[in-house]
Amino acid sequence: MESKHIDRRFGLVAVEKGFITVDQLFEAIKIQIKEELEKGRHRLIGRILFDMGVIKLPQIDEVLETL
């Protein structure tokens, strides 16, 4: 449960820093929910955004440093 809270915060910080758009965050959240419901697995928002090609590893590190 705690990782979901971190995911939400991760996404908000990434948007605030201008690394991603709100639309990209919503798309990642949709993917996350769909995977949880269909496959029973939980991927972190940062990983989904990285796999989507919309955020880079240094940006992920910068967001994580602020959490």
Inter-residue contact 15 to 45 (CB < 8 Å): no
- The whole-angstrom separation of Cα 57 and Cα 40 is 26
DSSP symbol at 1: -
Tokens encoding 43: 């991927």
How many CB atoms neighbour CB 48 within 10 A? 22
| pTM, rounded to two decimals | 0.84
- Model pLDDT for residues 5-59, shown as the tens digit of each residue: 555 589 999 999 999 999 999 999 999 999 999 999 999 999 999 999 999 999 9
The number of domains in the chain is 1
Residue with tokens 């949880």: 36
* Structural domain range at position 51: 2-66
Write down how long the chain is: 67
